[in-house]
Structure 1
Amino acid sequence: MIKQALFSLAVFCALAGRAAVIEGVVLESASGRPLARVRVALVAAAAGATAPAPQYTDRGGRFSFPGLAPGSYLLTAERRGFAMAVYGQKRWDLPGSPIVVEQDSRYVAELRLNRLGAITGLVVDENGVGLPDIAVYAYRDSRPLRLEGQAVTDDRGAFRIAGLKPGRFRLRTGSKQLEDDTGLLPTYLGDSTRPDGAAALEVGLDEEITGVVIRPCPGKLIKLRGRVGFQGVQAVTLYGDVGRKIAAVDSDGRFSFDELVPGPVELMAESSAGWAGYSRLWLAGEMDDEVVLEGAPLPSISLACVSTDGEKMGKDSAVLRLSRTIPAEEPRFVQLACGETASLGAGLWEITAAAAPGWKVSEFRLNERPLNLTTFEALPGQKFTLTLVQSREGQ
């Protein structure tokens, strides 16, 4: 028994001695200084292979992964305020290269982390004096605009938005009612209340844009009051040109939104019982009337699959994927097999479908009508049947 234990220990020591090691150091790219407390991780490239638990660099930026099995590994490093780095990548947003180690080998790696970008500036009044407590938002210049960061001005009207990945951004202030009842409209950099008239800023890694000045445009702000006409709703969400707002619903079903700007908005509410309310409004002037959100069951969709000959096809003959694109601030995803039914949220949904090998989707029909677009709008109370007409490849 003792001999067997000694033999097992000898084998273990021999294997441990032949194990590979990946070690190295993480540095700040701009200064070359070592970075402590960086989370470093290995990902085994081979399917089914295991990797050690992540670790943090020491005060000298050093890390070490001993006792590795031979194979390929991806090495990553990340720390708050920096772009994540993958060993071997040529650019921050490109994939890295795996490290290949053999038995009893040692690989030394150096990773450099770049700081994420930042934008600093001032929000000022009509006299050029800083305005405190004004929200400032940084949107990635995409369609639709995508919120990436935000800040609130200090007592001098100064703001700083950090943690921005490289790209083009548009800045916007939030609405604000001042002490003398002057209303400040959400205003983009470039003195525009619309995104298409806004100035764009290009931000890179290890870069801080300074000297930005935004002067909010004065205007009338609107208060919206409303009531939910069905039970089980805790909040109402408002979607508009300047983003999303959420208002709590009280015990009487009432809600309100302050400091809104003129223009189109959508109101949505959902209950835990599967009911929803939806309304489109155009805000202008004084909104004296109370808005009532009446309820109806959530929209639903059923998937039917048939061949071009009209024969019903099996459950696994196709897969339908739905993604809600509007409201953009709250995407949702639904996947259905043939014969299944699912509930949807109100909004605009985009359709993609994949047929089984040897087949292709030749036509979409929504409630028995040909669907020429790959999008459809779903509202509370509506029921849809989406039919996928399939034909064999080559036909």
Structure 2
Amino acid sequence: MRMIRLASAFALAAVFSTPAAAQIVVGGEPMQMPPPGGRQMKTGTGLIKGRILAAETGNPVRRAQVRLSGQDVFPKSATTDNEGRFEFKDLPAGAFTINASKSGFVAVNYGQKRPFEPGKPIDLVEGQSVDNADITMPKGSVISGRILDEFGEPVADTIVNAMRSTWSNGKRRLQSTGRTATTNDLGQYRIYGLPPGDYYVSATLRGTQEMVVSEMAATMAVRTTSAIGGGAPEGPSSGYAPTYFPGTPNGNEAQKLVLALGQEAQNTDFGLFPVRLVRVRGSVVTSEGRPAEGVMVSAAPRTANDSNPLFGASSSARTDANGNFTLTGVAPGDYTLNARTSQIFTSSSDGNSMSFTMIRSSGPGGGGESSQESGSVPLTVSGDDMSNVIIVTTKGASATGRVVYDGGSKPTTNSIRISAAATDDTGPMTLVSG
């Protein structure tokens, strides 16, 4: 990947963060919400207060949202006053995290040293008053530019997404930061409030997405009359693929932007990549040779960095009574067609350990474990419609094991998550707990 360095990053000896659950604030006082699951929440006589200050000027940040969370307490939120002050009262002993956020600033946790890292909890003893829980908020970095079509004309209503490179199941992928912008009639966009770091930019034409989604709804409606000769309507013949700066549909060729604190990457202009959208028709057959009715078929991109934000949603369909499916609005590329549903997970605990059973399932036949099947096939899509794609499913497999607690306090069964993932499209299953 190519890289642009906009400015040298510098250390910030202050704070950043992830927001905790917010509460509704009425008249400056936090309004407590009912606890989840009917748990008993504690109260006390502790106090935490401080100020929210701008990193660049030291001035108070007015009307910033400050959120407090901790174990066995109601999450609370407050809005800073004109002096940037906030206060949380009636707190029991315990560890508390505090987060501050405001539009245009980087969200920050108390005690956070670097972006995308957790902050430092405040350990409060019964009756203690912490008066200096101050948080310094820096102005966020910005990415701005224009989105154009293949003729150099501005494109309105395009969703532009700031993305970061992450690792998922041992593969490098581009993942949205949640910070987006929509282009205006001049094709202009501006994404603000970004922490310093490395970013990639993607653009998705909203109009094309709505067209594809509308076609999906029409396709599902027509399926109800397929028995009397009806068929799915023809899909859009052309559109724009999700495009990454500087103008490529391939995430591996996306150009990295390195943003320092408070810097703006101006003139990040690029054009959408035009493609012909195709239809993929096929059928799903069970291991016993019968049509697999009601199975969800999806096309997952095989390119490591292709998050496919536009066509991922449209590239799925459910099989009819004859096991047939039609995927619409599929962009050229390499995919894996999957025919399966979600995993089924059961567990039990005796206090010292937890036993689990995980079943990979896909739906044909319904009912017990013996009827659960799944299957997948590789698929390369060019610029032409495809047909006669066959997916043969196989019986599901179960993974059974036991998690043993190693010292310390024993976590509850509900606090442990176990999932299964293949190392690659044909590799062995890997169990991950967390």
TM more than 0.5 = yes
Q: Which structure has more strand as a fraction of its residues?
A: 1
Contact 2:279 2:326 in 1 (8 A): no
1:86-235 matches, cutoff 5 A: 86-92=109-115, 93=117, 95-96=119-120, 98=122, 105=129, 107-142=131-166, 143-149=172-178, 150-162=180-192, 164-174=194-204, 183-228=239-284, 229-234=291-296
Q: CA deviation at 1:281?
A: 0.7
Secondary structure of the structure 2 residue equivalent to 1:148? strand
Q: CA deviation at 1:268?
A: 1.4
Contact 1:89 1:97 in 2 (8 A): no
C-alpha distance in 2 between matches for 1:86 and 1:210? 28
- The residue aligned with 1:311 is none
The one-letter amino acid of 1:26's match is I
Contact 2:294 2:320 in 1 (8 A): no
Q: CA deviation at 1:141?
A: 3.2
Share of identical aligned residues, percent? 23
C-alpha distance in 2 between matches for 1:224 and 1:135? 26
Secondary structure of the structure 2 residue equivalent to 1:212? coil
- The residue aligned with 2:169 is none
Q: Rate the CA distance shift 1:283–1:56 in 2: closer, same or farther, 3 A.
A: same
Q: Deviation per CA, 1:126-162, whole angstroms, max 9, x where unpaired?
A: 4422023444343313423223344443332223344
Structure 1 residue 79 corresponds to structure 2 residue 101: yes
Q: CA deviation at 1:282?
A: 1.2
Question: Which structure would you say has the larger Rg?
Answer: 1
Structure 1 residue 284 corresponds to structure 2 residue 373: no
The one-letter amino acid of 1:24's match is G
Q: CA deviation at 1:52?
A: 6.3
2:307 to 233, 239, 243: 243
Q: Rate the CA distance shift 1:33–1:235 in 2: closer, same or farther, 3 A.
A: farther
Gaps of 5+ in 2: 1-43, 167-171, 212-235, 285-290, 341-361, 367-371, 407-416
Q: Rate the CA distance shift 1:250–1:97 in 2: closer, same or farther, 3 A.
A: closer
C-alpha distance in 2 between matches for 1:222 and 1:108? 60
**Root mean square deviation, CA, Å:** 4.1
Secondary structure of the structure 2 residue equivalent to 1:289? strand
Q: How many aligned positions are there? A: 298
Gaps of 5+ in 1: 1-17, 45-49, 304-314, 320-332, 336-343, 351-374, 379-383, 387-395
The one-letter amino acid of 1:65's match is F
TM-score (norm 1): 0.60
Contact 2:98 2:121 in 1 (8 A): no
Structure 1 residue 264 corresponds to structure 2 residue 320: no
Q: Rate the CA distance shift 1:148–1:68 in 2: closer, same or farther, 3 A.
A: closer
Q: Which has the higher contact order (CA 8 A, sep 6+)?
A: 2
Q: Deviation per CA, 1:138-191, whole angstroms, max 9, x where unpaired?
A: 33134232233444433322233445443212223348699x966544433234
